[in-house]
């Protein structure tokens, strides 16, 4: 039976705040995420410090020409992240360049490349405004196939596409799923959401949760409660 783990997004303005959250939630989280806010403020030190608690998911969502993305992956790999995000919409050559750069960075401990499909903040109307017709599920499936064929190790999608991706692409892709909200929590700026229980049932490998944990009165308790909700299988 597939187990779904909790990744906590440490979206903090400084390392002291992030390390406080990391210490509180580490007993309930299998991965900790360093994203654009923390990485922009603290750089590589954030990855190195957080990695002393749990493997780090370094979410920088690279999206550039293949040569530049490959160079960025080469520069980030020595920090030791378990995962690095890129945008699948950069196209197959970009995804392949990221994968090759990660492999060249070496060994079994190489960073894994996660391809972001359609951001969880984007609804059908916004997607159509950007020129993409057909709706999020169709676009996510298109980008998921493209990214996996080009060598991505896994995919980031919203809770709404976990079941469709499993139907279309099977059990192999690692699925990492933000936009998760416990019943009754505010959606904030997330558009395509579902509960932890639903996402685990549909076959996600990891959920990514930030504010419902970090902005809770007791982040450790909030992380524990979400981790419990994942044990539905």
- Going by the annotation, the residues of the binding site for substrate are 11, 33, 59-68, 120, 181, 190, 210-211
Options 90, 136, 179, 219; binder of ligand OMP; rule CB under 6 A? 179
Q: Which is nearer to ligand OMP, 35 or 66 (CB)?
A: 35
Q: In the complex, what is the shortest distance from the CB of residue 30 to ligand OMP, in angstroms, rounded to a whole number?
A: 15
Options 35, 81, 136, 173; binder of ligand OMP; rule CB under 6 A? 35
Q: Which is nearer to ligand OMP, 68 or 121 (CB)?
A: 121
Q: For tokens 């903040």, name the residue.
A: 121
Active-site residue identified among 48, 49, 53, 61? 61
Judged by CB under 6 A, the stretch of 86-94, 112-120, 144-152, 224-232 that binds ligand OMP is 112-120
Cα distance between residue 85 and residue 136, in whole Å: 19
Cα distance between residue 188 and residue 36, in whole Å: 18
Q: In the complex, what is the shortest distance from the CB of residue 135 to ligand OMP, in angstroms, rounded to a whole number?
A: 16
Residue 81 binds ligand OMP, judged by CB under 6 A: no
Catalytic residue list contains 100: no
Residue 156 binds ligand OMP, judged by CB under 6 A: yes
Nearest to 132 by CA among 92, 123, 115, 152: 123
Cα distance between residue 154 and residue 171, in whole Å: 11
Total binding residues for ligand OMP by CB under 6 A? 18
Cα distance between residue 200 and residue 182, in whole Å: 12
Cα distance between residue 37 and residue 60, in whole Å: 10
Q: In the complex, what is the shortest distance from the CB of residue 151 to ligand OMP, in angstroms, rounded to a whole number?
A: 18
Structure tokens at 189: 């700026």
Residue partners of 199: CB distance under 8 A and separation at least 6? 4, 159, 162, 177, 180, 207
Options 96, 210, 226, 229; binder of ligand OMP; rule CB under 6 A? 210
Rg (CA), the chain: 17
Identify residues 115-134 at the interface with ligand OMP (CB under 6 A). 116, 119-120
Structure tokens at 205: 């490998």
- In DSSP notation, 186-206 reads --TT-SS-B-HHHHHHHT-SE
Partners of residue 176 on adjacent β-strands: 156, 206
Q: Residue numbers of the site for ligand OMP (CB under 6 A)?
A: 9, 11, 35, 59, 85, 116, 119-120, 156, 178-179, 188, 190, 208-212
- Residues annotated as catalytic (active site), given as ranges: 61
């Amino acid at each position: 039976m597939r187990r779904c783990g909790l990744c906590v997004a440490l979206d903090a303005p400084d390392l002291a705040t992030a390390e406080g959250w990391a210490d509180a939630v580490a007993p309930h989280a299998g991965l900790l995420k360093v994203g654009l806010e923390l990485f922009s403020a603290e750089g590589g030190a954030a990855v190195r410090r957080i990695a002393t608690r749990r493997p780090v998911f370094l979410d920088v969502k690279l999206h550039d020409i293949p040569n530049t993305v490959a160079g960025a992956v080469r520069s980030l790999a020595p920090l030791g992240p378990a995962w690095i995000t890129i945008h699948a919409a950069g196209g197959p050559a970009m995804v392949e360049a990221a994968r090759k750069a990660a492999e060249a960075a070496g060994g079994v401990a190489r960073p894994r490349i996660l391809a972001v499909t359609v951001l969880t903040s984007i609804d059908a109307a916004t997607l159509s405004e950007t020129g993409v017709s057909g709706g999020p599920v169709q676009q996510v499936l298109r980008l998921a196939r493209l990214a996996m064929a080009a060598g991505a190790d896994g995919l980031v999608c919203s809770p709404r596409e976990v079941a469709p991706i499993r139907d279309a692409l099977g059990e192999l892709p690692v699925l990492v799923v933000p936009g998760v909200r416990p019943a009754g929590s505010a959606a904030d700026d997330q558009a395509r959401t579902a509960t932890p229980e639903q996402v685990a049932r549909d076959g996600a490998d990891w959920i990514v949760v930030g504010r419902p944990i970090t902005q809770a009165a007791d982040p450790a308790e909030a992380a524990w409660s979400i981790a419990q909700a994942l044990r539905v299988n």
